[in-house]
Amino acid sequence: MTVAKAADHWVETPGGRLFARSWQPEGSAAEAGPTVVLIHDSLGCVELWRDFPAALATALGRRVVAYDRLGFGRSDPHPGPLPPDFIRGETEAGLLPLCEQLGIGRMVPFGHSVGGGMAVGAAARLPERCAALVTVSAQTFVEDRTLAGLREAEAGFRDPAQMQRLARYHGAKAEWVLEAWLGTWLAPEFAGWTLDADLARVRCPLLALHGDRDEYGSARHPERIVAGAAGPSRMVLLPGCGHVPHREGPEAVIEEVARFLAQPSTRRSSA
């Protein structure tokens, strides 16, 4: 069986160093297809993808890369609060330096939750680089269900054990990470945010995956992604999955992604 070999990297950006990890299946080459770049959620980091990237790389036979956004995981602390346009701004802040320093040409942005919005932003801004796009549990607007889930999570983090768990992955940055999530999404000035403008500029093939039990967003989100994208798109509701399908049903996620990326239009060379 093909095994994906992992390697760690450090990426220099104007804001600070980013930590990244890549998984390269033995014997794979550029012709296997564009690199899949994983963009994590609001509390995520490379380590919280767990064994999913290796399994995805092995199943696809192509390179997979994940990185910690600035302020998260092993990356440097963020210099301040998240700017209002942080979702759209991640393309320049993190993704482009990552691609340039790791030699990533053609790619497939694969974003979870808010990372899905960042993946959409990348496809809108870098159409020449993005062969395809995958979103998982992505939000497209601030839904009442999203706010309810956030308030429940906020109450849960009053338990010191919850903060200790967050600190295992983010160290001294844990409080900043939590505030960056809750403070941003619960702020009144963020209530009118939508992904619509970026979706209208996405022309590459798009796959929107969403759990049918997602506690942070209803099926209105993948429906809006498919309706708003300018290119060919497809949504899949994953039965029995909540907000983290790649942990709750990784086999189903990998199967859907592999089927999607096997289409001729998504297999152009990474060169």
Quote the pLDDT of residue 2.
65
CA distances to 95, 98, 207 from 10, rounded to whole Å, are 13, 9, 29
pLDDT tens for each residue of 176-210:
999 999 999 999 999 999 999 999 999 999 999 99
Angle between helix 160-170 and 174-185 (nearest 10): 110
CA distances to 80, 159, 214, 256 from 265, rounded to whole Å, are 41, 48, 30, 16
Secondary element (H or E) of residue 15: none
Helices (H), the chain: 52-60, 86-90, 96-102, 114-125, 144-156, 160-170, 174-185, 196-199, 220-228, 245-248, 250-261
pLDDT tens for each residue of 34-88:
999 999 999 999 999 999 999 999 999 999 999 999 999 999 999 999 998 999 9
φ and ψ of 235, to 5 deg: -110, 150
- Cβ proximity of 133 and 106 under 8 Å: no
Residues 138, 136: Cα–Cα separation, whole Å: 5
The burial class, CB within 10 Å (0-12 / 13-18 / 19+), for 135 is: buried
Global confidence as pTM: 0.95
Task: Dig out the tokens for 111 from the structure.
Answer: 């974003």
pLDDT above 50 (res 271): no
- Cβ proximity of 266 and 206 under 8 Å: no
CA distances to 1, 50, 245, 266 from 215, rounded to whole Å, are 36, 21, 12, 31
Question: All domains of the chain, ordered by start, with CATH?
Answer: 4-141+194-264 (3.40.50.1820)
Quote the pLDDT of residue 26.
83
